Amino acid sequence: MKYVTEGLFPELVFKNFECISRIPRPSGHEGAISDYIMNFAKSLGLDTYQDSYKNLIVKKPATNGRTDASTVMLQAHMDMVPEASDLVDHDFYKDPIDLILEGNSLKANQTTLGADDGIGVAYMMAILESEDISHPNLECVFTVDEEIGLVGVNKLDMSDLESTYILNLDAEEEDSILVGCAGAVNASIVLRKEYKPAIPTNLALEINIKGLFGGHSGMDIDKQRANANVIMGRILSSISYDYDLFNINGGSKRNAIPRKCEAVLSIRNEDLEGLVREIQKLSAKIQKEFYPSDPKLKIELRRSAPTDFKVFTDDCKNKIVDLLSLIPNGIISRALDLDMVETSSNFAIVNEDKQNIEFISLIRSSVDSKKDYVKTIMTRLAGLVGAELKFYSEYPAWEHNKKSNLEDLAIGAYEEAFGKEANVVVMHCGLECGILLNKLRHKAEAISIGPNMYNVHTPQEHVEVDSVARVWEFIIRLLEIL
């Protein structure tokens, strides 16, 4: 079989990554990839456990002379964020990822690559099948549903695990050793839809916001990129003409900054020209505002014939616009001592079903009290518009252990591998380390490392080939000294 990555180093890492890229694995659909890795591990004669949720634990005995060393956990998640550009028709539940190698960059054909966290999975598979790597007893943990709220790891039975050190392989910058991360919670505001008859002589006007860059709702929130749902709120709240609303949808993934949003308005024929001119005038201002971060932002208007003869009531419409305009989004606060984002909210999804409109946000904070404060804002906002609110998939922050022996060892190994000092950082993203540490029955320490990845959770996602090799050498060095 021909491999796009043939000839790249480390060979086993890229071969395994390409193999798993052929297996669809969006969150909630990791059965096939979990079975593949389980059979892969069993073929190597390794002790393998798969739970009912499809989480996997694979144990590999220490190499000769290492049996007295501390047990080390290697950990990565199997699922990926499925995002595709408007230029391709990609079914993430059936189609393989189409890899493209361009120089020192590995990417996909107009879709997310899945290097987050497929590269971490591939590192672990390569270590499991390698016979020339010195290492202590290994517990390799492959989790599911990480991208939708660290769900899989929360369900994992870890009572049989003995690891003292945890190497999470889900980081995205090779010059950083991650030693802490924010906690998070999903917020869902559900508004009951109410209808009235549409004016039959009215016209329909579609508003499409698209072309935004998007990005990872934690790692990229500091870049202050445009949010399609927020822009739609600005447009609808600015309209001075009388209009009705009968459709609204935006965003697709809770942990991705929404790249598009669409709404359909019902307006009088005589108001069409003035309303279009009004929206175009504001659109030009918004495009100018976001040109540095989102130069391809488009706000398109298209007249069409009404297909439905009912629209939202004025009260329901006003509540929708209120929520679009007032749901917290972006940076809430910064940790001044660390010069990093401390608290944020990503207004991720607006989605209709037959009876309701749901507004989904992902709130992150490294300070629990700040996270609770944003939850209070959401609670009061939902109460003001008479909507239902629920919080779910909450997980705690991974707090920095300032006396970590693993951190000290990793800093030394990094300097040996890279010839420079590592940045030791606490990141504004969600990692499974805090949950893993809390679930182990004994005291343990954790770090997170990984190669340079760019534009994750977007169709522009790519990974730096040479960086994959450098981090591989770093991992091997760590396993030699732990």
Q: Which residues are catalytic?
A: 79, 146
- Token readout for 280 is 């175009």
Amino acid at 355: Q
Residue 366 is classified by DSSP as S
- CA dist., res. 123 & res. 451, Å (int): 11
Which residue do the tokens 């889900």 mark?
Answer: 170
- CB 83, CB 111: distance < 8 Å: yes
Decide: residue 352, CB within 10 A, 0-12 exposed, 13-18 middle, 19+ buried: middle
CA pair distance 164, 290, nearest whole angstrom: 47
Q: How many CA atoms lie within 13 A of 223 on its CB side?
A: 19
Both tokens assigned to 106: 């590995």
**Cα–Cα distance, 95 to 2 (Å, whole number):** 18
| Cβ burial 166-179 (10 Å sphere, 16+ → b, else e) | bbbbbbbbbebbbb
In DSSP notation, 261-277 reads: EEEEEEE-GGGHHHHHH
Q: Select from 249, 233, 213 the least CA-distant residue to 455.
A: 213
Cis peptide before 89 (omega within 30 of 0): no
